[in-house]
Structure 1
Amino acid sequence: MIRLQASADRRQFIQSLLAAAAASAVITPERLLAGAAPADWTLGVADVEADIAPRALTPIAGRAPADFAGVLYRNGPAKFRRSGSSAGHWFDGDGLIRRFRIADGRASLAARFADTAKRRLETQLDRIVMPGFGTAAGEGANIGNNDDANAANTNVRLLGGELLALWEGGSATRLDPETLATEGIKTFRDDLRHMPFSAHPRIEADGSVWNFGGNGKVTGLWHLGADGRLIDFAVLPLPRASYFHDFTITARHIVIVLQPWLQTRFGFPISKTMAWQPELGTQVMVVAKDDLSRRRIYELPAFSAFHYGDGWEEADGTIRFAGCLEADPTFGQSSASALLQGEYIAPPRAMLKQIVLYPDGKAVLAATGAAGEFPVSDPRRAEQPHRLTAHVTGYDGKGPFPHAIATWDWQSGRSDSFDFGADQLVEEFQYAPGNSAREGDGWLIGSTLNLKVGASELHLFRAGDVAAGPVASWRADVALPIGFHGMFVGA
């Protein structure tokens, strides 16, 4: 990897991020969202008031195989409101890390808030004051660096033996994998303190890690070893200041999709600093891992997206990866803010498609016809062709959250799905490898929120037969709001 040529580059990058935080201090405080009219799905954005002590889950259907064991870690926002004040966006609540443990056919749950500077300050003031993706700064906001606003609420990853809660605008937050207690900010190198380490790191076949940090005309590019140590960090120039939440990799390349949702100024809320300019189309930048100066740009029609699947490269250099593509960024701009008011503004539905980049410079979108979000595949096939992509689906148009889980088979062009019904809100499922090397012999494990009984549930499916329904299901005695991302760690 190309290293930074001067420490001034790093200082300039960090200073630009701090400038955005400082600018937010003069923005009008967010609207108060308390007292919203209730709706069934609003349990998915309700507040959790305290940590959830470890407790057993109640079996409600089937039984897990005796040899299935491991931990499903999940993360997501779970505290949005304090004394009449509210976050201005679903993405800005305090991160609650959940741990589902499965062994000997039994399951348990524990959950704990990340002890961030943001949460400590707002607890002390008993008000939501820190800015974020869709939240303006309130009176009493204290912003000295990126991590003062870090909600640690988007993903959780076990890297080099450390459990890290991730948020796209700041550092990873270190947690104890067993107790979920916060152990502090993760600093990979002193001169990179507070540098953003985004929420969607990509894992190579050998276990090494790539990640980006920060949007704008440049982004930080991280490369870590399988043991979690820093190999290198570089500042990667971009052709335009596009917002991107996720990226992907192949064995030889880094792939960044630059949608035409462009940053026009610094400040908070971040969603208000960006403009949708569909006439510019979407660009895909492909960068060689071994020489960051070697890059090419592909052109596609305009679309917006938050999430992409694992990528691979064919023998002739063709690159393929899945994406959950929307016609425009309505969800990030306004729909996800309205959720906290109990309102549903229907955005364009995310559709599962495959992005294909040919060696001759041609790029195409291969449609599946399937609505979907949170694409997940067998982690053992990182950077290799894979047949199955799991995703959530089953949107009924009456609320923001899906009701079904599915896999898409890229070889047969068929969907295999299970609909939990209108009373269940479905979260991202994770792939858990089975005893054989075949993708379909693995498992899908994930959680739902059962509105009818007011409780969260855990479900285990066979990856190759989703339509058959859960092999095993368990129910908690608490209702946790809908979260974002996580990972399964086999025992």
Structure 2
Amino acid sequence: MQRRQFLQAGCALGLGALLLPGAARADADTFRRFHAALEHDPSLAIYADLEGEQQGPAVVEGRLPPDLRGVFYRNGPGRFERDGERYHHWFDGDGFAQRWQIGAGRVTHRGRFVETRKFVEESAAGRFLYPAFGTGILRKPFRDNDTLNAANTNLLPFGGRVYALWEGGSATEVDPDTLATRGLKTWRDDLQSMPFSAHPKIGADGSLWNFGAQPGSDKLALYRIGADGNVLQAGMVEVPQLALLHDFAVSERHLVFVVPPYDIADDPGLSMAERHVWAGSGAAARPTRVVVVAKDSLRVRRVFELPPRMVFHFGNAWDEADGAVTHVDLVLHDGDQLAANGGIMRGERQPNQPGGHRAMRVTLDYASGRARTVRLLDGAEFPRVMPQVVGRRHRRLALLASDRRNAGRILDTVHVVDVDGGHSDSWRFGPGWRAEEHVLVPRAGARSELDGYLVGVAQDTRAGTSVLTVFDAARVHAGPLALARLPYRTPHCFHGNFLLA
């Protein structure tokens, strides 16, 4: 695995550069700007700081389907401020794990911070100590990337355990019931502290595929882990000019990565986010690259090119013609969306540009080396498919989108898109609502991708409360079957997964 070289390269070119003298930056201006904006726009409260734990029952409006039983695990950043300072980027906040228990017509909620080393030490100090992805604070030296682990991006049930995931370090195990932190997970001794992405994929055989990336290292680590937790495959591939990779897709035969055109600036005075310099515009614009790795050999099979776009999230991938063609559904963004996601920490909203955020189908032809694209839905993000079709042919894609009537980019509409026919079955929450990622949950013995439910969380910013939402996946336009409203607001989460009882 060349673990030592991988980690050394990441530290030398990445966060480790912040150890240089004078690199520490403490910023109270972001704190002031956000709270000034919050006074005029109360809906920004979903990005406000949170302290302590949450626990309580939800009030159910409508009727929960009796066969929908299980736990909806969610994760996202919840602490952005300490001692009058505020993080610069949404991705920086400490992870706040959540579980929504559903069954017998009732919903209960529990949320608590993942007690990483960083969280515990900064809680005791009463101030931020370590650098984050978008904020260059350094008041205490750090040993490795897991010292900086925020465990804030996804909550994954796998193999009877639950893991809080981050981009740049180990998975953090939490108790499935109480969410109490159990500690870092090392899948194998020689993989200790290796980055383990927040978007693993679980296939039909129950095994898990994942990757780890260090921007600036030009190396991509790959993992396949069996349902029993044993490492089945591990390897590393060279990817020149490797920048942020947040997600990927798996098909029956391939792993598909999309590398956006960023340069990594050699400036130790900048945070990792700030060191990502967009190289997708101007006369010397570079393309976005699609890097396809063969599952059997863990070697690059082919690299395709697309016009310069940013990508965060994939829906799914599948092969046809005996692996001669691969189709990938994902969301492509115009321009530097990495920087744009930092503005919300200052209370700044993005303008609504539906054409700048599109769910697309990309078809990769290995014989010709060409990639073709087809538009699926404008203004979209957070694509998900039914779990039983991961890596296989799918026909339905769940998405969020911003309605064209919105002045700002506000994800307030849920969709289930027919990717073959182009039809979208959708429902808009309306003014004052902010939808989080919704996932497709199959009924027992489901015979189609519409035989189940669309489940998510939405923030009612006017009431200051968070609401679990349940739709019939085949009739989203009819509105929610049930809304389960908490008497408080939860942090705005990134990602999660439903574990059926």
Please classify the TM superposition score into its range, dividing by the shorter chain length: over 0.9
In 2: Cα distance, 1:241 partner to 1:210 partner: 20
Match of 1:441 in 2: 451
- The answer to whether the Cα contact below 8 Å between 1:265 and 1:274 also exists between their aligned partners in 2 is no
Give the partner amino acid of 2:425: D
> Could you tell me how far 1:30 is from its partner in structure 2?
4.2
Matches within 5 A, 1:25-424: 25-26=19-20, 27-32=23-28, 33-35=30-32, 36-37=35-36, 38=38, 39-53=41-55, 55-60=56-61, 62-138=62-138, 140-215=139-214, 216-265=217-266, 269-278=271-280, 279-316=285-322, 317-329=324-336, 331-333=337-339, 335-346=340-351, 349-359=356-366, 360-395=368-403, 397-424=406-433
Match of 1:457 in 2: 467
Residues 1:262 and 1:464: Cα distance change in structure 2 (over 3 Å)? farther
> Could you tell me how far 1:51 is from its partner in structure 2?
0.9
Residues 1:272 and 1:347: Cα distance change in structure 2 (over 3 Å)? farther
> Could you tell me how far 1:398 is from its partner in structure 2?
4.0
> Could you tell me how far 1:248 is from its partner in structure 2?
0.8
- The answer to whether the Cα contact below 8 Å between 2:43 and 2:462 also exists between their aligned partners in 1 is no
- The answer to whether the Cα contact below 8 Å between 1:94 and 1:153 also exists between their aligned partners in 2 is yes
Residues 1:437 and 1:136: Cα distance change in structure 2 (over 3 Å)? same
In 1: Cα distance, 2:373 partner to 2:204 partner: 26
Q: Secondary structure at the match of 1:339?
A: helix
In 2: Cα distance, 1:230 partner to 1:291 partner: 15
> Could you tell me how far 1:131 is from its partner in structure 2?
1.4
- The answer to whether the Cα contact below 8 Å between 2:352 and 2:408 also exists between their aligned partners in 1 is no
- The answer to whether the Cα contact below 8 Å between 1:447 and 1:458 also exists between their aligned partners in 2 is yes
TM-score, normalised to structure 2, is 0.92
Q: Which moved more, 1:76-85 or 1:39-48?
A: 39-48
> Could you tell me how far 1:69 is from its partner in structure 2?
0.5
In 2: Cα distance, 1:336 partner to 1:65 partner: 36
> Could you tell me how far 1:355 is from its partner in structure 2?
1.1
In 1: Cα distance, 2:190 partner to 2:165 partner: 20
Residues 1:378 and 1:250: Cα distance change in structure 2 (over 3 Å)? same
- The answer to whether the Cα contact below 8 Å between 1:243 and 1:262 also exists between their aligned partners in 2 is no
In 2: Cα distance, 1:438 partner to 1:304 partner: 32
- The answer to whether the Cα contact below 8 Å between 1:72 and 1:100 also exists between their aligned partners in 2 is yes
- The answer to whether the Cα contact below 8 Å between 1:354 and 1:366 also exists between their aligned partners in 2 is yes
Instruction: Provide the aligned C-alpha RMSD in A.
Output: 1.7
In 1: Cα distance, 2:59 partner to 2:309 partner: 43
TM-score, normalised to structure 1, is 0.94
Q: Secondary structure at the match of 1:439?
A: coil
- The answer to whether the Cα contact below 8 Å between 2:402 and 2:409 also exists between their aligned partners in 1 is no
- The answer to whether the Cα contact below 8 Å between 1:260 and 1:303 also exists between their aligned partners in 2 is yes
Give the partner amino acid of 2:346: Q
- The answer to whether the Cα contact below 8 Å between 1:159 and 1:227 also exists between their aligned partners in 2 is no
Q: Secondary structure at the match of 1:464?
A: coil
- The answer to whether the Cα contact below 8 Å between 2:88 and 2:346 also exists between their aligned partners in 1 is no
5+ residue gaps, structure 1, are: none
In 1: Cα distance, 2:10 partner to 2:231 partner: 22
- The answer to whether the Cα contact below 8 Å between 1:409 and 1:415 also exists between their aligned partners in 2 is yes
In 1: Cα distance, 2:345 partner to 2:241 partner: 32
Q: Which moved more, 1:106-115 or 1:270-279?
A: 270-279
Aligned-residue sequence identity (percent) comes to 37
5+ residue gaps, structure 2, are: none
> Could you tell me how far 1:347 is from its partner in structure 2?
7.6
Match of 2:9 in 1: 16
In 1: Cα distance, 2:229 partner to 2:442 partner: 22
> Could you tell me how far 1:67 is from its partner in structure 2?
2.0
> Could you tell me how far 1:190 is from its partner in structure 2?
2.0
> Could you tell me how far 1:254 is from its partner in structure 2?
1.0
Q: Which moved more, 1:479-488 or 1:227-236?
A: 227-236
In 1: Cα distance, 2:250 partner to 2:129 partner: 37
